[in-house]
Amino acid sequence: MGKADPKESYALGTAGRGLDPRAERSRAAALAAASDLLIENGWAGVTHASVAARSGVGRTTLYRHWPEAAMLIQQLLAELFQVEPVERTGELRADLIGELRSFLRVLHNPKSERALRVIIDQAPLDPRYAEVLSACSCKGTDGLREIVDEAKARGGLPKELDTDVAIDHLLGPLVFRRLISGQEFPDQYVPELVDSFLEPLTP
Amino acid sequence: MGKADPKESYALGTAGRGLDPRAERSRAAALAAASDLLIENGWAGVTHASVAARSGVGRTTLYRHWPEAAMLIQQLLAELFQVEPVERTGELRADLIGELRSFLRVLHNPKSERALRVIIDQAPLDPRYAEVLSACSCKGTDGLREIVDEAKARGGLPKELDTDVAIDHLLGPLVFRRLISGQEFPDQYVPELVDSFLEPLTP
């Protein structure tokens, strides 16, 4: 992991490690420019030509790092989709609320939001995007999965509860409102969602 | 409405009416070709050149109908996103299940699904897509909204229930599972979702 094996340098999250400092600087400049272009114009606006023009990095260098624009976008999406770790309280309701609020911040972060929209569009068309979707989907749901599984183990939630279904019920409303209906989230939205999720499941 | 005013011919749902039969045939052939291209390659694959090549309709004609490719895609998306009307039983639980199953068919119809993914990607970048999103979103949620509002009026659901929140809770999980986690829907998925929605709301 992390060595300068050229094949590995496209793998999610390991790219760039093991490059010399100048190559690392041009790679970072190219990714920053590509990130701006992606947010402004969507993935079709990210090409070797547009990234070269915006970053000042030569096209030859760009082609060396990323022989295809889709490779650059793939790597970029994996870096843009950021989820901060949330501190746990050990109390189920509070931890679910904390985790959902963190997911809501992801949906309101312009970089993560754009990344998610691009991935939803492209995943069924291109396996490179499907790979990023799967990585981001894990990153976005791992915390919640852990909370639900621990509660099932400790008796706070029924053992027979399907964790994937629980995740759908908790994150689905946030995604629907943010990406489709485009409405705001009142302060009470998340606590009320958690309460309506917990009520049928807890005595 | 429906007259051959060229400005109006781009309006959602009215395009094509009032054209002479030959123009109508070439318009339909172009839309069918564009639909195939959209499903195969995403919106970036729909250009005047690719639609001309696939449909046999001349580029000049295409430019006359749709001066920009985005206009063609906008019109196409509005036509692709189809929701069948669902028969009502008058019983709240059964009607919610019927409506959610219909929405699930929309998410599994290759045309509607592709349209939705494209719109999610493009709506924040281009007001023409935002307009289609708003039209499709109404088409997709109107039946559910009616059922929830009627139940609130008749006392089957609490009057203070926010109908938009109810729609998030009912459709969000379906959208999340279909577009993000990519998992299958077991037969019991929809009835169990409806039951967990209803349980905290009904005595």
Output B6 or B69, whichever has higher pLDDT: B69
Residue (of B147, B169, B151, B171) closest to B160 by Cα position = B151
Do A52 and A95 lie in one domain? The reply is no
Residue B133: pLDDT above 50?
Answer: yes
Asked if residue A203 is part of any domain, the answer here is no
Do B123 and B74 lie in one domain? The reply is no
Q: What is the ipTM of this complex?
A: 0.84
Do A61 and A152 lie in one domain? The reply is no
Do B96 and B64 lie in one domain? The reply is no
% of residues, chain A, pLDDT over 70: 91
Backbone region of residue A90 per phi and psi (left: phi > 0; alpha: psi in -120 to 50; beta: other values): left
Do B96 and B30 lie in one domain? The reply is no
Side-chain half-sphere CA neighbours of B200 within 13 A? 18
Each residue of B123-132: pLDDT tens digit? 998 888 888 8
Q: Which among A121, A192, A201 has CB closest to B120?
A: A121
Residue (of B149, B137, B106, B121) closest to A114 by Cα position = B121
% of residues, chain B, pLDDT over 70: 91
Do B116 and B171 lie in one domain? The reply is yes
Which residues of chain B are within 8 Å of residue A173 when distances are taken between CB atoms? 165, 168-169, 172-173
Asked if residue B39 is part of any domain, the answer here is yes
CB B170 within 8 A of CB A176: no
Closest residue on chain A to B176 (Cα) = A172
Output A179 or A81, whichever has higher pLDDT: A179
Structural domain ending residue among the three candidates B63, B79, B95: B79
Residue A64: pLDDT above 60?
Answer: yes
Sole residue written with tokens 């339909």: B28
Give how many domains chain A has, as a whole number. Answer: 2
Side-chain half-sphere CA neighbours of B111 within 13 A? 16
Closest residue on chain A to B181 (Cα) = A137
Do B47 and B97 lie in one domain? The reply is no
Cβ-defined contact of B165 to A192 (cutoff 8 Å): yes
Asked if residue B3 is part of any domain, the answer here is no
Do A88 and A58 lie in one domain? The reply is no
Do A75 and A86 lie in one domain? The reply is no
Q: Which of B179, B195, B201 to mutate: most A Cβ within 10 Å?
A: B179
Q: What is the mean pLDDT of chain A?
A: 88
Cβ-defined contact of A181 to B167 (cutoff 8 Å): yes
Do A56 and A148 lie in one domain? The reply is no
Query: Rounded to an integer, what distance in angstroms lies between the CA atom of residue A193 and that of residue A196?
Result: 5
Query: Rounded to an integer, what distance in angstroms lies between the CA atom of residue B95 and that of residue B86?
Result: 9
Query: Rounded to an integer, what distance in angstroms lies between the CA atom of residue A156 and that of residue B21?
Result: 66
Q: A39 to chain B nearest CA, in Å?
A: 9
Band (pLDDT 50/70/90 cuts) for residue B16 is: low
Q: For position A60, which CATH number holds?
A: 1.10.357.10
Q: What is the mean pLDDT of chain B?
A: 88
Band (pLDDT 50/70/90 cuts) for residue B10 is: very low
The full 3-state SS of A153-196, as one line of letters, equals HHCCCCCCCCHHHHHHHHHHHHHHHHHHHCCCCCCCHHHHHHHH
The pLDDT score that the predictor gives to residue B9 is 38
Residue (of B50, B175, B71) closest to B129 by Cα position = B71
**First and final C-alpha spacing in chain B:** 48
CB A178 within 8 A of CB A110: no
Q: Give residue B12's domain range.
A: 8-79
Do A40 and A98 lie in one domain? The reply is no
Query: Rounded to an integer, what distance in angstroms lies between the CA atom of residue B47 and that of residue A45?
Result: 15
Cβ-defined contact of A168 to B173 (cutoff 8 Å): yes
Q: Angle CA(B5)–CA(B8)–CA(B13) in degrees, nearest 5?
A: 130
Asked if residue B43 is part of any domain, the answer here is yes
Q: Which span out of A20-24, A77-81, B137-141, B142-146 was modeled with the highest average pLDDT? A: B142-146
Average pLDDT (B133-157) is 93
Q: Which span out of A130-139, B80-89, B187-196 was modeled with the highest average pLDDT? A: B187-196
Query: Rounded to an integer, what distance in angstroms lies between the CA atom of residue A137 and that of residue A105?
Result: 15
Average pLDDT (B8-17) is 45
Do A105 and A175 lie in one domain? The reply is yes
Q: What is the DSSP letter of B163?
A: H
Asked if residue B28 is part of any domain, the answer here is yes
Average pLDDT (B135-146) is 90
Q: Tell me the longest C-alpha to C-alpha distance in chain A.
A: 64
The rounded radius of gyration (Å) of the Cα atoms in chain A is 20
Asked if residue B203 is part of any domain, the answer here is no
Backbone region of residue B47 per phi and psi (left: phi > 0; alpha: psi in -120 to 50; beta: other values): beta
Cβ-defined contact of A189 to B165 (cutoff 8 Å): yes
User: A160: which 2 tokens?
Assistant: 């027979």
